[in-house]
Structure 1
Amino acid sequence: MKSIILAGGVGSRLWPLSREYYPKQFIKFKSFKKSLFQMTFERCLALSNNNLDDIYIVTNEKHKFLVLGQIEELGYNNFNEDNILIEPIGKNTLPAIYYGVKVIKNKNNNNENDNNKNIVGVFPSDHLIDKNDEELFINTIMEGKKIAKDYLITFGITPTKPHTGYGYIKPLKKLNIGYTVDEFKEKPDLKTAEKYIKNGYLWNSGMFLFDADLFEEEVKTYKPELYELFKSDDINEVYNNVPDISIDYGIMEKSKNVAVIPLNIKWNDLGSFDAFYDEFKTDDAGNIVHGENLFINSKNNLINTENNKFTSLIDVNDLIVVDTRDALMICKKGSSQKIKEVFNTLKRKNDERVLYHKTVYRPWGSYTILDEGKFYKIKRITVLPGKKLSYQLHHHRSEHWIVVKGMAKVVVDDKEYFVRNGESTFVKSGLKHRLENPGKIPLEVIEAQIGEYLEEDDIIRFNDDWGRK
């Protein structure tokens, strides 16, 4: 089967951990060795019998290289970049999924011998599934293939409690596998959620399985304007005109061919910091602590700090405290859904703290801003083995590079030389230059920028391995 991984979104309710250029699906939370995206990718690989070509990822331009980098980190260096589908602008789940379906159908037209060539699973990249339940998850998805020719299948999570952050699905008629669907319900209040649980409703997981031909027919029937727009080969033109609409509202709630299969697994979409209380271990007082701490008479708090910063709480309960290098967020437990309001306010003000961390990830590695003033900026640059920055120049700043780990290959106005551990070099403004790591270990460089304008848009690229302008 084919898999479509949805890897857009910004995770605004997990700010300041999640930023637009490094959203929650790519974060390695402190209890996990892999990101949510990486865990999703590995589950999809199991569903496709380890065939990388059967995995398609819908994302955006600013996340493309996070996707590639995290796949490479898993040890897969030959993933086909053509399977990374770039949305020009996010328009919700229905256009994203149909984009993936169209590409899969076009690629599979020449493979008539594959009976399951058009069976497609759709999986958000930011869901957490307990490791102990992954085998049950895989088996349930594979069972669903038996009815995927006749039904658009959604997977309903067996609820563990009344939850106001999830949509609900009401099963109706029993099938050989799963049930037909009576109705979909939006996120309820607590009293309504309790009623749904008593009446056997399931959480709406946002995961789907279907035959691509059947799905396309349903799009043609219920969203004909979307169907017609996607006939164009110009994806920018398509996205300029498609509606912003979810697959639930656009198709699943209207189609007569919908089934739900229960998934009795431990599942969480980590949609807010309150959801952390369901997933992370607590101490004897119910505190979740990521970092060095000393608590006195304090219970049921969540603390997440960078660089193992020491934190002390005294006589406080039910607080969520998230501390990063450039932002501190404190709220009461139960109120973390409101963090999105902070995110949106900062975004309206064009505040870069909704876009970037102090550590910014690039296709070649990352950089961390250590200090900055009006006319200077100090960075720690990490270049991955075999990677190189673009050949570029800056009009308004010069750069002093000090190598602290590894060996750098430097190009300045077409002249090449090597800079070793403990050595430094200076690049004047206006000169074309490039930094490269020819070695087998990460290269670390301290960069001191000096100039009257130090923003990232003071850059002219002449050659770039990733086609950036």
Structure 2
Amino acid sequence: MTSAPVVALVLAGGTGSRLYPASRSTRPKQFLPLLGEETLLERTVDRASFADHVVVSTRPELEADVRDLVPGAEVVVEPVGKDTGPALAYATHCIGERYGDDAVVVVLPSDHTVGDVARFTETLERGAGVARAADRLVAFGVDPTRPETGYGYIEPGREHDGFADLDAFHEKPDAETAARYIEAGYLWNAGMFAWRVETFRAAAHDSPLAPLVRALDDGDVDGGFDAVEPTSVDYAVMERVSDAVVVPLEVPWDDLGSWDALARLLPADDDGNVVHAGTDVGEAGHETDGSEADAALFVDSGDNVVVSDGPHVSLAGVDGLAVVAWDDRVLVVPKESAQRVRDVVSMLKQQGRF
């Protein structure tokens, strides 16, 4: 008997507000080629080659760009963005309709960077096997390399062969708590999961997503989305089940969630400055290349991140900044406060300027 297929589900409906101003409502970060010629979305789909099928979940206004960038993937379009809970409930429902309730879904956000792709692939295949054989909801937890305050954490419990019981999720901590988490052996919550379609559906039926799941069963997609509030899949489903498990992911990994991440991922000069001469991807997917050598000048300055899609940036006598010049916008923020770009975007949205 042929085993049920493994379906890689790539999430590409968010904006990535902490990468403003390069990331905007009409040009989310997954469409940006921040680490080479390929966009983050293309790189993620390339890493999903282990799966039998690749499905990309996105929102209506981004559908055309997604189809243009990854024409080999199937696309599921959620009617409105309401965070990962509704998005994954809908996409999992669609995968079940296409490939059956025994299909194994492996969830991949589209804004990650991964080293050792072979080991990454082996770990995801192992997690898919656990989801199928043990009939559990699986989270992938990254082995942390620093006390990071920008990530949530997973507390593993009793160990089994290749996975552990998932005892608890923990929200993004302060620096002291993050250090304590690292010492206790907690893992970073990477937002990557695996589950059988039917296993997830059963869990979602007993969660805040229940109105959406019932409406999807009745064929009322719009009504289902209207009936639920925005919520993450962690809060809506994963934290509420008693038998979820975690599979450790022991590979170089980073979340391109804020500008300080580039300091860890791109080569620096002798003073620790990192420059990215941005390449923009237009509506038809065409790129215009920049030049790092022409993008920035540093005078008595170190440990800075400069990103520009054209304007030259000069820094004198400053350290530890992220300076981003993109389109007609400029952002300046201390690297250690890079998460606060979210606050900037919130204010811009209130003013109708995002």
Instruction: Provide the TM-score with structure 1 as the length reference.
Output: 0.68
Alignment of 1:140 onto 2:142: no
Deviation sequence 1:342-399 (CA, Å, 0-9, x none): 2122222222xx2xxxxxxxxxxxxxxxxxxxxxxxxxxxxxxxxxxxxxxxxxxxxx
Number of residues of Structure 1 aligned to a counterpart in Structure 2: 329
Deviation sequence 1:86-131 (CA, Å, 0-9, x none): 122111111111111111111234xxxxxx951111111111112x
Answer yes or no: is the 8 Å Cα contact 2:127–2:140 preserved in 1: no
Task: Pick the structure with greater CA Rg.
Answer: 1
The aligned residue for residue 36 of structure 1 is 40
Bigger CA drift: 5-14 or 157-166? 5-14
Q: Does the residue aligned with 1:94 lie in a helix, a strand or coil? A: helix
Alignment of 1:6 onto 2:5: no
Matches of 1:311 and 1:300, distance apart in 2: 15
The Cα of 1:283 is off from its aligned counterpart by 0.5
Matches of 2:267 and 2:174, distance apart in 1: 27
The aligned residue for residue 198 of structure 1 is 183
Please show how residues 93-172 of structure 1 align to structure 2 within 5 Å: 93-109=84-100, 118-130=103-115, 133-149=116-132, 150-172=135-157
Deviation sequence 1:27-52 (CA, Å, 0-9, x none): 011x41211110111112x112xx5x
Q: Does the residue aligned with 1:222 lie in a helix, a strand or coil? A: coil
Answer yes or no: is the 8 Å Cα contact 1:232–1:238 preserved in 2: no
The Cα of 1:63 is off from its aligned counterpart by 0.7
The aligned residue for residue 175 of structure 1 is 160
Please show how residues 205-220 of structure 1 align to structure 2 within 5 Å: 205-220=190-205
Q: Does the residue aligned with 1:144 lie in a helix, a strand or coil? A: helix
Matches of 1:12 and 1:39, distance apart in 2: 20
Deviation sequence 1:141-161 (CA, Å, 0-9, x none): 111233213211100000000
Answer yes or no: is the 8 Å Cα contact 2:102–2:198 preserved in 1: no
The aligned residue for residue 66 of structure 2 is 67
- Do the aligned partners of residues 92 and 294 (structure 1) sit closer, same or farther apart at CA in structure 2, a change above 3 Å counting? closer
> Which structure 1 residue ranges, 5 or more long, are not aligned?
110-115, 355-469
- Do the aligned partners of residues 347 and 265 (structure 1) sit closer, same or farther apart at CA in structure 2, a change above 3 Å counting? same
**Between structures 1 and 2, the one with greater helix share:** 2
Q: Which amino acid aligns with 1:334?
A: E
Answer yes or no: is the 8 Å Cα contact 1:119–1:211 preserved in 2: yes
Matches of 1:217 and 1:343, distance apart in 2: 37
The aligned residue for residue 232 of structure 2 is 246
The aligned residue for residue 241 of structure 2 is 255
Answer yes or no: is the 8 Å Cα contact 1:172–1:180 preserved in 2: yes
**Between structures 1 and 2, the one with greater strand share:** 1
The aligned residue for residue 433 of structure 1 is none
The aligned residue for residue 441 of structure 1 is none
The aligned residue for residue 306 of structure 1 is 309
Deviation sequence 1:317-339 (CA, Å, 0-9, x none): 11211112311111222122111
The aligned residue for residue 22 of structure 2 is 17
Matches of 2:334 and 2:93, distance apart in 1: 45
The Cα of 1:265 is off from its aligned counterpart by 1.2
- Do the aligned partners of residues 143 and 325 (structure 1) sit closer, same or farther apart at CA in structure 2, a change above 3 Å counting? closer
Matches of 2:304 and 2:120, distance apart in 1: 32
The aligned residue for residue 444 of structure 1 is none
Q: Which amino acid aligns with 2:67?
A: L
Matches of 1:108 and 1:305, distance apart in 2: 44
Q: RMSD value over aligned CA atoms?
A: 1.6
Matches of 2:193 and 2:334, distance apart in 1: 35
The aligned residue for residue 280 of structure 2 is none
Matches of 1:156 and 1:247, distance apart in 2: 15
Matches of 1:145 and 1:318, distance apart in 2: 41
The Cα of 1:162 is off from its aligned counterpart by 0.1
Answer yes or no: is the 8 Å Cα contact 1:229–1:242 preserved in 2: no
Answer yes or no: is the 8 Å Cα contact 2:60–2:77 preserved in 1: yes
Answer yes or no: is the 8 Å Cα contact 2:149–2:175 preserved in 1: yes
Runs of 4+ in 1 over 6 A off after TM superposition: none
Matches of 1:85 and 1:100, distance apart in 2: 6
Percent sequence identity over aligned pairs: 35
The aligned residue for residue 345 of structure 1 is 347
Q: Does the residue aligned with 1:216 lie in a helix, a strand or coil? A: helix
Answer yes or no: is the 8 Å Cα contact 1:298–1:317 preserved in 2: yes
Matches of 2:319 and 2:128, distance apart in 1: 48
Answer yes or no: is the 8 Å Cα contact 1:2–1:117 preserved in 2: no
The Cα of 1:232 is off from its aligned counterpart by 2.9
| Larger RCO (CA within 8 A; separation ≥ 6) | 2
Alignment of 1:92 onto 2:83: yes
Q: Which amino acid aligns with 1:212?
A: V
Instruction: Provide the TM-score with structure 2 as the length reference.
Output: 0.89
Q: Does the residue aligned with 1:334 lie in a helix, a strand or coil? A: helix
Answer yes or no: is the 8 Å Cα contact 1:226–1:243 preserved in 2: no
